[in-house]
């Protein structure tokens, strides 16, 4: 007999002795006029100071250039072994560069290395032109990607971060594109380099990220300095599975830039940790369905993964399982039939869908006859 299903049943109120609430109320004592610290996977803000203030970001712009290049590598549009040729426009860049001459050829691998390690403006333009035909067209793609990532305070005017009117972003937006970039683990092959060489050893390059020399867990990411932007940086680091991104804009000098990022990262690693979430036992318990050729749905729950939590004891994490009331056939495999929610107090922290593993057809006269016929033919 098909039984009635209990409406929105609470499968569990699991009490876990660690803090789940994450707020940005705490501000790290830094000199930067604009800054933010986020957890990379969830993009949760852990600390911030004027993080949505529009500012220039100098060569931190190249985070977006590298992101589009990584996506092109993943799609096969670009290969590390491809050889690209520097245009007159690319060779004309000032500021930090690797002194490319018009017509000079270089592999994509070396151009990425030059862009990420030496912050080479000319190398960034070569990559941009190769991907979109011109820097202007590439910048349009940068802005399109920025919009897709929710970078609501960002407008790019070039691909390398040289001062240009209207070329603006904010610390929070930089953190968003940085988090997206480090999803491409290949980028760490470049951002973790301290010293390397190009042109068969004729050109030596040194990373502009001095944290690589002394900060535990540092993985990158990008520095930038211009007269208008001041000293800026997006720094990524990971310890014990916790991945953080610290962004500072407008520092007075490089020493303060590195000290500020280190202080923010120190705060994040000291205050937060990663906890593995578990599903309540009843979340995958078979559920009854009405009016179907079969009367049982077998649930499939999303993996809840992990959550960043406070190290100190505080509010308790509550886990709640909800199943839809009176599920009626037909039900297709993959249909949502409920959810598991993770709360800290009344704050919803994470939601995981519960879907049907199996398909259940609606009971009808024809379907019953068909089932009877199939049964008889097996006798």
In the residue annotation, 353 being an active-site residue is answered as no
- Annotated catalytic residue 119: yes
Q: Which two tokens stand for residue 25?
A: 């109320």
Q: Which of 47, 87, 119, 178 is catalytic?
A: 119
**From 47, 59, 234, 243, the catalytic residue:** 59
Q: Do 50 and 248 contact (CB within 8 A), yes or no? A: no
pTM above 0.85, yes or no: no
pLDDT, tens digit only, all 379 positions of the chain: 333 332 333 333 333 333 333 334 457 899 999 999 999 998 999 999 999 999 999 999 999 999 999 999 999 999 999 999 999 999 999 899 999 999 999 999 999 999 999 999 999 999 999 999 999 999 999 999 999 999 999 999 999 999 999 999 999 999 999 999 999 999 999 999 999 999 999 999 999 999 999 999 999 999 999 999 999 999 999 999 999 999 999 999 999 999 999 999 999 999 998 888 888 888 888 988 888 878 888 899 988 888 888 887 555 778 899 988 888 889 899 999 999 998 877 778 788 999 999 998 887 766 656 656 666 666 5
Active-site residue, from 62, 222, 322, 350: 62
Structure tokens that stand for 142 in this block? 């940068």
Q: Tell me whether residue 62 is one of the annotated catalytic residues.
A: yes
Domains of the chain (ranges; CATH) run 34-251 (3.40.710.10), 281-377 (2.60.410.10)
């Amino acid at each position: 007999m098909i039984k009635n299903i209990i409406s929105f049943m609470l499968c569990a109120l699991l009490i876990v002795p660690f803090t789940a609430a994450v707020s940005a109320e705490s501000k790290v004592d830094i000199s930067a006029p604009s800054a933010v610290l986020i957890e990379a996977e969830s993009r949760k803000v852990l600390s911030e100071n004027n993080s949505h203030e529009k500012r220039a970001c100098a060569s931190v712009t190249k985070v977006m250039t590298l992101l589009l290049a990584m996506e092109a590598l993943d799609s096969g549009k670009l290969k590390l072994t491809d050889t690209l040729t520097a245009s007159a426009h690319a060779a004309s860049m000032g500021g930090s560069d690797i002194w490319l001459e018009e017509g000079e050829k270089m592999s994509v691998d070396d151009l990425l290395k030059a862009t990420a390690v030496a912050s080479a403006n000319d190398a960034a333009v070569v990559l941009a032109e190769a991907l979109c035909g011109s820097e202007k067209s590439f910048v349009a793609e940068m802005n399109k990607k920025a919009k897709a990532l929710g970078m609501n305070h960002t407008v790019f005017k070039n691909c390398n971060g040289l001062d240009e009117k209207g070329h603006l972003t904010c610390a929070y937006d930089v953190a968003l594109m940085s988090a997206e970039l480090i999803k491409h683990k290949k980028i760490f092959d470049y951002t973790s380099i301290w010293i390397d060489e190009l042109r068969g050893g004729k050109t030596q390059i040194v990373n502009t990220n001095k944290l690589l020399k002394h900060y535990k867990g540092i993985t990158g990411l990008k520095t930038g300095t211009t007269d208008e932007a001041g000293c800026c940086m997006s720094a990524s680091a990971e310890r014990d599975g916790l991945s953080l991104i610290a962004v500072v804009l407008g520092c007075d000098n490089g020493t303060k830039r590195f000290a500020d990022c280190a202080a923010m990262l120190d705060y994040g690693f000291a205050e937060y940790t990663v906890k593995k979430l578990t599903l309540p036992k009843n979340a995958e318990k078979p559920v009854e369905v009405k009016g179907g050729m079969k009367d049982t749905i077998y649930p499939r729950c999303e993996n809840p993964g992990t959550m960043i939590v406070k190290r100190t004891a505080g509010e308790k994490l509550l886990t709640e399982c909800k199943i839809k009331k009176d599920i009626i056939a037909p039900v297709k495999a993959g249909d949502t039939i409920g959810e598991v929610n993770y709360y800290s107090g009344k704050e919803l922290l994470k939601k995981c869908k519960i879907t049907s593993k199996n398909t259940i057809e609606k009971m009808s006269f024809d379907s019953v006859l068909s089932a009877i016929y199939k049964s008889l033919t097996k006798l």
